[in-house]
Amino acid sequence: MTISRSKKVLLSVAIVITVATTAGFILVNQESRDFRFTKSIDIYISLMRELNAFYVDEIDAEKIVNKGIEAMLSSLDPYTVFYPEEDSGDLDFITTGKYGGFGSLIRKSGDYIVVTNVYKGFPADQNGIKPGDEMISIDGTSLKGVSSEKASDMLKGEPGTEAELVFRRNGTEFTKKLKRERISIPAVPYYGMIDSRTGYIRFTNFTQNCIAEVRSALIDLKEKQGAESLVLDLRNNPGGLVNEAVEIVNLFVKPGLEVVSTRGRAKQYDAVFRTNRNPVAPDMPVVVLINRGSASASEIVAGALQDFDRAIIVGERSFGKGLVQVARPLSYKAQVKITTAKYYIPSGRCIQAVDFSNPNEDGSVGVIPDSLIKTFSTGNGRPVKDGGGIIPDIVISTDMLTRFTSELYVQNMIFDYATEYFWTHPQPAVLDSLRLSDNDLARFKAFLVEKNFSYQTSSESALEELIATAREEKLYDDNSQALEQLRDLLSHSLDRDVAGQKAEMTELIESELAGRYFYDAGMIKYSLSRDSQVREAIKISADRDRYNSLLEGPAI
């Protein structure tokens, strides 16, 4: 079809007007966004200026601004976090697993601070500090009434600096002068053989260069200890650095594979991460353990190995954190850890479980609805889903504590009794010889009586609510005999609880003692033979036919 010259001119003008109008719309929209941003900042600064000049009392501007920043970021997601200069060490610890201190964990207990754990080989351990020791003061400043967060800040500092600490142990005070060191929390607190053929690695965090620890453990198990299969334990591993996750996957798969990609609004943070080394164990059967505490980089490892049909995943659905954070510098040495992208594992799925982008009217957020969850496929064609963490190939629930033993743990009865036991019993020759006698359990029961241990069962709590409601509705008097009779029937006794939960109670105490005598590695090793998820992992790795069938795709 031929178009006349005049029509061509009119068409050209129309196109120019359309493009110009569209460009103008985009420009106006952009200017509108920029204007709103500038306007909001200007209002905020003006407000601070007015408060500083005219508020009835003198204000702490820094405190108010920090609270405002925290409130602002909390409306986005829980992973975008502001770090003022004085807290920059916390961000360093998250990424590197290192900090300047003494190598101990603490918590508030009564008026003072109590040591709950010491890391082997660091200053606290070298100076004889033990779990259960109370911290009374640091450099002459009393810790009475001080929060554990504040005490932690006081204990941390530049490596090489010293602090004088006063402790109390079994009623006796003593003083120690400790020199701070660069504390590096091990990413692999324990590894070893759990039977004659199966190696085990407990992997707890994806900090800088954690791959070196995992690779070293894997090589030792494979080449020196004769491991033919591996259980990689990622339970309660909160994640960390993405590149370290890629390196872990690369231990088991060939180079050149895409492990994860990140995509967000700021294209500078879009990236594709591929394996680039020859694997250490390309053919070794692998079982990965996960639970609700496995998040972020842990989910990349578990999800990628599942998508590649390279490992069997056992345990519980993982946390579901498919978001990536980047640390950005701010003024005055402050920093912000900001969510910049979502990540996608080899099948193309994103496992983010919570939709922070579409909050409810009350500000709460919900999980990704089933209607939006999609099905993807592994390399062998096995179906896998997005939008809700990593779903294990074999689901094994965590062994739950009874209400009685849970209360023993929560009220620190297990911890406090272990402290008493530690100072009245010698070091066992080997971990396997650590066993509580009937006399030890009888002493624990007496200990509970001395400490006035008490708790309510769920049934008792529900009954008390029923009685309170009956009183409000004027129904108690007519039914008091039946209600009080029911109270007698449902009431628990310490004798019955201790006898009925003896095995579970004993296991908790012995586990705590394993940590006291043999550090974290001892506690982990003690738990392995009693762990139902570990036992299932051993069975799967030993049965090659079952292992291979679980990885096979659907029949065609």
CATH code of the domain in which 385 resides: 3.90.226.10
- Range in 21-25, 218-222, 325-329, 457-461 the model is least confident about: 21-25
Q: What pLDDT, on the 0 to 100 scale, is given for residue 16?
A: 40
Final residue belonging to a domain, choices 346, 373, 398: 398
Sequence-distant (6+) residues with CB within 8 A of 439 are none
In the DSSP assignment, the letter for residue 283 is S
Confidence of residue 31 (pLDDT cuts 50, 70, 90): low
**Pair 244, 310 in one domain:** yes
Residue 491 lies in a domain: yes
Quote the pLDDT of residue 28: 53
Residue 343 and residue 325 share a domain: yes
The yes-or-no verdict on residue 27 having pLDDT over 60 is: no
pLDDT above 70 covers a percentage of the chain that reads: 94
Model pLDDT, residue 341: 93
Q: Give the number of domains in the chain.
A: 4
Residue 233: name the closest of 286, 290, 285, 192 by CA. 290
To the nearest 10°, report the CA torsion of 545, 547, 552, 554.
90
pLDDT at 507: 96
Q: What is the pLDDT of residue 252?
A: 98
The reply to whether 504 and 361 lie within a common domain is no
Is residue 454 part of the annotated active site? The answer reads no
pLDDT at residue number 366: 75
Return the higher-pLDDT residue of 24 and 405.
405
pLDDT above 80: residue 485: yes
Catalytic residue among 321, 337, 386, 525: 321
User: Which amino acid does the sequence have at 179?
Assistant: K
Query: Exactly one of 307, 386, 393, 531 is catalytic; which is it?
Result: 307
In the block, residue with structure tokens 């201190």:
101
CA distance 168 to 175: 9
Residue 398: per-residue pLDDT: 87
pLDDT confidence tier of residue 206, bands split at 50, 70 and 90: very high
d(CA 544, CA 550): 10
Q: What are phi and psi of 375, to 5 degrees?
A: -105, 135
The per-residue pLDDT for 361 is 67
Instruction: For residue range 74-106, list pLDDT tens digits in order.
Output: 889 999 999 988 887 777 777 777 788 999 999
Looking at the domain assignment, is residue 104 inside a domain? yes
The SS3 call for residue 117 is strand
Question: Is residue 208 in a domain?
Answer: yes
Whether residues 248 and 329 fall in one domain = yes
Residues 425 and 468 in one domain: yes
Question: At 231, phi and psi to the nearest 5?
Answer: -110, 115
Same domain, yes or no: 346 and 200 = yes
Mean pLDDT of the region 414-437:
96
Mean of pLDDT over the chain:
90
pLDDT band at 202 (very low <50, low <70, confident <90, very high): very high
pLDDT for the residue numbered 30: 56
pLDDT at residue number 144: 96
Three-state secondary structure call for residue 544: helix
Cα distance between residue 443 and residue 506, in whole Å: 12
Structure token digits, residue 184: 């590096």
Residue 367: partners with Cβ closer than 8 Å, 6 or more residues away: 320, 353, 354, 355, 387, 388
Higher pLDDT pick, 249 / 12: 249
329: Cβ contacts below 8 Å, ≥ 6 apart? 335
Are 257 and 270 contained in the same domain?
yes
Give the span between the Cα atoms of 445 and 408, in whole angstroms. 11
pLDDT in tens, 172-196: 999 999 999 998 889 999 999 999 9
Instruction: Pick from 38-47, 151-160, 282-291, 456-465 the range whose average pLDDT is largest.
Output: 282-291
Is the pLDDT at 239 greater than 90, yes or no? yes
Can you give the pLDDT at residue 14?
44
In this structure, are 153 and 223 located in the same domain? no
121 in the same domain as 221: no
Q: Residue 4 pLDDT > 70, yes or no?
A: no
Residue at a domain's end among 184, 205, 225: 184
Task: Evaluate whether residue 548 is within a structural domain.
Answer: no
Q: pTM for the full model?
A: 0.86
Q: Say if residue 232 is in the same domain as residue 378.
A: yes
Asked if residue 1 is part of any domain, the answer here is: no
At residue 1, the pLDDT reads 45
Mean pLDDT of 162-170: 96
Residue 79 inside a domain? The answer is: no
Task: Domain of residue 509: give its range.
Answer: 403-539
**Model confidence at 25: pLDDT above 70:** no
Q: What is the reported pLDDT for 45?
A: 92
Catalytic residue among 229, 261, 296, 318: 296
Whether 442 and 487 map to the same domain: the answer is: yes
Nearest CA to 133 among 148, 120, 114?
A: 114
Q: Look up 307 and say whether it is catalytic.
A: yes
- Is 77 a domain residue? no
Within a domain: 490: yes
Judgement on whether residues 260 and 366 belong to the same structural domain of the protein: yes
Residue 18's pLDDT is 44
| pLDDT-wise least confident of 37-51, 130-144, 209-223 | 37-51
The arithmetic mean of pLDDT across residues 470-478, rounded, is 90
Q: CATH no. for residue 161?
A: 2.30.42.10
- Active-site residue, 296 included: yes
Of 149, 184, 219, which residue sits at a domain end?
Answer: 184
Other beta carbons within 10 Å of 467: 18
